[in-house]
Structure 1
Amino acid sequence: MPQLELVPWAGLAIGVVFGVCGQITGFCLHRGLREYWSGRAGYKLHAYALALAVALAGTHVAASLGLADITKSMYMTPSFSWLLLPVGGLMFGYGMGLSNGCGARALILLGQGNLRSFVVLVCLGISAYITLTGIAAPLRVLISDFTTFSPTSIAVPQGLPRSLTVWILVAALTLFALRPRESGQRATDLTGGAIIGLLVAAGWLVTGWLGADDFEPTPVASLTFVGPIGDTLHYAMIATGMSLRFGITVVLGVLVGSFLAAVLRGRYRIEGFESAGQMSRYIAGGALMGAGGALALGCSIGQGLTGLSTLAYSSMVSAFAIVVGARLAWAGSSGSIMTASPTVQST
């Protein structure tokens, strides 16, 4: 089997592991932030910090050894919009708050039977395509043309400054992750975070090394979900006109892994909406995440882990804006059904 044909299969394997891990541990940035802001005990945010530490270290090692040229990734483009990145991040973060989780979390919940997540994913994928290539694309391009600039440095410089930055951040994130809290599934959550961090590094290796080809190279990328969810919906409709790419097989793998883990653990059950208001909120959340993720060039995984693992300044802007957007949604939800309903909280 030609080497390039292994790329989608490797993406499927990465997705399956992500789905199993996410279903067992409940890995999710939004859950971690909400837990932390509410003052509740637990290790969800610590797990995310450890995932970022492992992703940073793994990506740096892979790039240093020449196994993945991350400078060819979309995060390292020489110019970006100073307006669209933060606005998109705010939109994604706010939408993540409305729908109680990001696109990756929605995939995991759908795999265990949560039909609310199906609505979120459809809205997210359609909204992302509307923004990237649909009726909103000309406006996006117009705004981008007027707000794009080329900074003198697009990421932390190579060499000693980069290595020092990586290992200082890895140490700081690891220390935060290992800080004890009152209670929570510490070993489970932290193990899940470490595995997902390794999957980010594995994604770079699959596309950057396994997918390397002089004539038909695979785009250098790793875990991200907004564009690939849209691509998966597109592929489902016109499979004969599209190739089965790395991102699509990752999405399919997450669904398969989550489903298998849920069934084997006796956690699979069909769930739907409890009210029209809840459905409206999830639809809005999915649409905001799709459009926002398209503008911000990623999601809480795509920018928050994969993008930050490259130390690109644009990823820092997007990730920070995502957290701010989530905070605004959390603050606005005080006393609302989103915080009051135990069923919704569990998602």
Structure 2
Amino acid sequence: MILTGLAVGLALGFVLQRGRFCITGAFRDVWLTGSTRWLTAFGVVIAAHAVGLLVLTTTGVVTPQVDPLPLGAALVGGLVFGVGIILAGGCATGTYYRSGEGLVGSWFALVLYALTAAAMKYGPLAPLTTWAREQTVGATTIDATLGVPAWTVVAALAVLVGAAVVHHLRRDAARPAVASLPPRRSGLARVLLEARWHPFATALVIAAIALVAWPLSAATGRVGSLGITTPSAKAVNFLATGDLAMVDWSVLLVLGILAGSYVAARASGEFRVRVPDASTVQRSIVGGALMGVGAALAGGCTVGHGMVATAQLSWEGWVATGAMLLGAGLAARVAVAGRASVNEAVPEASPAAAGPAPVLTPA
């Protein structure tokens, strides 16, 4: 049954790559352009996952546990992670699927992300992580705090996200049609490998994969859904120690994400090894390191917290995700301000001479 982790990862990696689904862009757009289109898609993942998870828990298929809120660790870790994803040019999902596409900068970010997460969880910094996450305030889930049934919170979330979806679909319908190139493929091949995937449709597929992950993972003794930070750290731990106990369903999941995104990029003709300049590599290294430190402190990334813990109505998931959004916004604003300062200081420089701004590349 452990091999089902690989199968789920393959499917998720394929969908992430073809749907271009990266939360970094969603967070950045809110702060820099005011656009909430991709943030709404992120909300669709959470809401659809929450509805499905409520069914799974009510019927007794899975019995997930929610830990008390480590408020300080969730806030600090989330902020650090949010800054890191802007520097790295991608969140946990984006870093993995772009690595599979051949983006060398993401390779650097991914390696540092996994290394620092391993150091924080299993290495010399593990005592710091343990201490920080033991400082809890007792709150577990939103519904428990409010003293209401979980379905009422899930229903309210679904209504809010649904209203945002309707808003964006109406705006899309009002826009003039954009001319496109003649299709090179037909039928299912065109849908899967050529046509542009709608963010909301991609979000629903991701939510479905997250729901399937619950019983498949539980069948191996692991109670959980999708996750990237801990399995990345486990993979590093295994490579360093040879401890086979580290290789579980979740480790095969992240390996599958890499493989699935590579297959999608190859099949769609989007795979290309792209070597960045030195400054981009430096940002990727620093960003990846901050991602590992932040996610370990917070107890999850934009997947473990942003897509899964939020669907469990966990305070930790929502607080950490909110802190990630704030950290990403601060970093994006600083990056834009720094870029503007450079352009003002060198008015004669052409855009090409000024160089690219990799941290602001659309997700």
Q: Is this a same-fold pair by TM over 0.5?
A: yes
Offset at residue 239 of structure 1 (A): 4.6
Match of 1:260 in 2: 263
Instruction: Look up the equivalent residue of 2:97 and give its one-letter code.
Output: I
Offset at residue 66 of structure 1 (A): 0.4
Match of 1:214 in 2: none
TM-score computed with the length of structure 1 as normaliser: 0.86
Q: Residues 204 and 222 of structure 1 are in contact (CA less than 8 Å); yes or no, is this contact kept in structure 2?
A: yes
Instruction: Look up the equivalent residue of 1:198 and give its one-letter code.
Output: A
| Pairs aligned (count) | 326
> Which of these residues, 92, 96, 99, is aligned with residue 107 of structure 1?
96
Q: Residues 85 and 295 of structure 1 are in contact (CA less than 8 Å); yes or no, is this contact kept in structure 2?
A: yes
Query: Which deviates further from its counterpart, 330-339 or 297-306?
Result: 330-339
Match of 1:226 in 2: 229
Match of 2:247 in 1: 244
Match of 1:315 in 2: 317
1:1-347 equivalence runs, <5 A: 6=1, 8-39=2-33, 43-71=37-65, 76-77=66-67, 79-145=68-134, 147-151=135-139, 154-157=141-144, 161-180=149-168, 181-182=171-172, 188-208=198-218, 210-211=219-220, 218-239=221-242, 241-242=244-245, 244-275=247-278, 277-336=279-338, 341=356, 345-346=361-362
- Cα deviation code 1:4-55 (max 9, x no counterpart): xx1x222111111111111111111111222333337684223212111111
- Cα deviation code 1:142-169 (max 9, x no counterpart): 4445x33324x54423996211111121
Q: Per the alignment, in what secondary structure is the counterpart of residue 267 of structure 1?
A: coil
The percent of aligned pairs where both chains have the same amino acid is: 25
Unaligned runs of 5+ in 2: 179-194, 341-353
Offset at residue 285 of structure 1 (A): 0.7
Instruction: Look up the equivalent residue of 1:178 and give its one-letter code.
Output: V
Q: 1:243 to 1:265 in 2, by over 3 A?
A: same
Aligned Cα RMSD in Å?
A: 2.6
Match of 1:215 in 2: none
Q: 1:187 to 1:131 in 2, by over 3 A?
A: closer
Structure-2 separation of matches of 1:288 and 1:249: 24
Unaligned runs of 5+ in 1: 1-5, 212-217
Structure-1 separation of matches of 2:204 and 2:302: 16
Offset at residue 274 of structure 1 (A): 1.3
Q: Residues 92 and 289 of structure 1 are in contact (CA less than 8 Å); yes or no, is this contact kept in structure 2?
A: yes
Structure-2 separation of matches of 1:250 and 1:100: 22
Q: Residues 43 and 190 of structure 1 are in contact (CA less than 8 Å); yes or no, is this contact kept in structure 2?
A: no
Query: Which deviates further from its counterpart, 224-233 or 82-91?
Result: 224-233
- Cα deviation code 1:65-90 (max 9, x no counterpart): 1001012xxxx12x342211110010
Instruction: Look up the equivalent residue of 1:113 and give its one-letter code.
Output: G
Q: 1:107 to 1:279 in 2, by over 3 A?
A: same
Instruction: Look up the equivalent residue of 1:320 and give its one-letter code.
Output: G
